[in-house]
Amino acid sequence: MKLLVDYRERHLAGVLDDVCEEINLTQLPIGDYVAISDYGAVIIERKTINDFLSSVRSNRLWDQLLRMMKAEEVLGYPVKRRILLVHGNFEDYLTAIDFGSERDLLVHWSQLMGAYLEIVYVYNTPIVHVESDTAFKAFMKILIKRESSGLNDKLPDAKWYKKPARADLPIKDRKKYVLSSLPYIGDRLAENLLVHFKTISRVACASVEELQEVPKIGRRKAQLVYEIFHS
């Protein structure tokens, strides 16, 4: 397991000195930290409370999140996950501001919650809040432990993993339902597979190279789909 730390974050390198077997300072093209395992790369964008709020107001945050969403690889490693880390205590920040009234404070929190929901649902990026350097270290240590062992990629118990298809579901949607049940193949990629191959049997018979011709299907996912149908 390897952790790449951007030079801008070197002041926190000491906090993370024992969370990973290999830690390297470098200039990252995206994000502040990149955790690399055999399963791929995780991009972590860290923001202090002040930086988070100012980047929301200036719209800089949305540009950064969009770049993270579009990134399929970083420094040659395939990207499998993106995380926004908010570092600091909102209570400390808010007590230093005179909002004038409870209504003004409510407006502030409403805007903040709106930004959170935009990040999670529109930009499809999970948010983790760490209040202190100790919490930050704990998060990074557990993240690296889970990534190195594949715990973040395990599937839920089968009975909870996917809702049963409706009996009246059209055949086209049933095909999509079946393909979307494959690991790492959601509705969008299932749709891409069906548009390209037309039938599930042709998907099952496709080579790794043929699978890679489908939009958004890289080498790793193509190999996984191929192995599922040929193992």
Claim to verify: residue 39 and residue 136 sit in the same structural domain: yes
Claim to verify: residue 203 and residue 170 sit in the same structural domain: yes
Domain that holds residue 187: 158-230
Q: How far is CA 165 from the centre of its chain?
A: 27
Claim to verify: residue 139 and residue 187 sit in the same structural domain: no
Residue 218: both structure tokens together = 């890289």
The residue ranking higher by pLDDT, 159 or 84, is 84
Claim to verify: residue 14 and residue 72 sit in the same structural domain: yes
Calculate Rg over the CA atoms of the chain: 21
Specify the pTM.
Answer: 0.67
**Percent with pLDDT over 90 in the chain:** 58
Claim to verify: residue 88 and residue 36 sit in the same structural domain: yes
Residue where a domain terminates, one of 118, 153, 188: 153
Residue with tokens 């009975």: 159
Burial of 101 per CB tally in 10 Å (0-12, 13-18, 19+): exposed
* Confidence (pLDDT) at 159: 42
Residue where a domain terminates, one of 153, 184, 212: 153
* Confidence (pLDDT) at 151: 84
Q: Is the pLDDT assigned to residue 98 strictly greater than 50?
A: yes
Of 9-13, 35-39, 95-99, 132-136, highest mean pLDDT: 132-136
What integer best gives the mean pLDDT of the chain? 88
* Confidence (pLDDT) at 165: 65
Claim to verify: residue 143 and residue 57 sit in the same structural domain: yes
Cα separations (Å) of 199 from 15, 30, 171, 209? 52, 38, 11, 17
Helix (H, G, I), strand (E, B) or coil at 208: helix
HSE-CB of 143 using CA atoms within 13 angstroms: 24
Residue with tokens 């805007």: 111
Q: Is the pLDDT assigned to residue 27 strictly greater than 90?
A: yes
Calculate mean pLDDT across residues 49-78.
93
The C-alpha atoms of residue 211 and residue 217 are separated, in whole angstroms, by 7
The C-alpha atoms of residue 35 and residue 39 are separated, in whole angstroms, by 10
Indicate which CATH number applies to the domain containing 190: 1.10.150.20
* Confidence (pLDDT) at 170: 81
Residue where a domain terminates, one of 94, 121, 153: 153
Of 13-17, 119-123, 173-177, 180-184, highest mean pLDDT: 119-123
Using one digit for the tens of pLDDT, what is the confidence trace for 158-208? 444 556 667 677 888 888 888 888 877 888 888 999 999 999 999 999 999
Q: How confident is the model at residue 106 (pLDDT cuts 50, 70, 90)?
A: confident
Q: Report the sign of the C-alpha dihedral through residues 87, 93, 99, 102, in that order.
A: positive
Check residue 13 and report its DSSP letter. G
Claim to verify: residue 14 and residue 51 sit in the same structural domain: yes
Check residue 122 and report its DSSP letter. I
* Confidence (pLDDT) at 164: 64
Using one digit for the tens of pLDDT, what is the confidence trace for 41-58? 999 999 999 999 999 999
Q: How confident is the model at residue 38 (pLDDT cuts 50, 70, 90)?
A: confident
Q: List the alpha helices (DSSP H) in 40-198.
A: 49-58, 60-70, 90-95, 102-117, 133-149, 158-161, 171-180, 187-197
Claim to verify: residue 84 and residue 131 sit in the same structural domain: yes
Q: Is the pLDDT assigned to residue 90 strictly greater than 70?
A: yes
The C-alpha atoms of residue 98 and residue 5 are separated, in whole angstroms, by 36
The C-alpha atoms of residue 178 and residue 64 are separated, in whole angstroms, by 34
Claim to verify: residue 14 and residue 119 sit in the same structural domain: yes
Residue 136: both structure tokens together = 């930050």
* Confidence (pLDDT) at 13: 85
Phi and psi, residue 142, nearest 5°: -70, -40
Residue 89: both structure tokens together = 């205590």
Indicate which CATH number applies to the domain containing 85: 3.40.50.10130
Claim to verify: residue 135 and residue 195 sit in the same structural domain: no
Residue 204: both structure tokens together = 């099952």
Instruction: Report the domain count for the chain.
Output: 2
Claim to verify: residue 168 and residue 95 sit in the same structural domain: no
Claim to verify: residue 125 and residue 23 sit in the same structural domain: yes
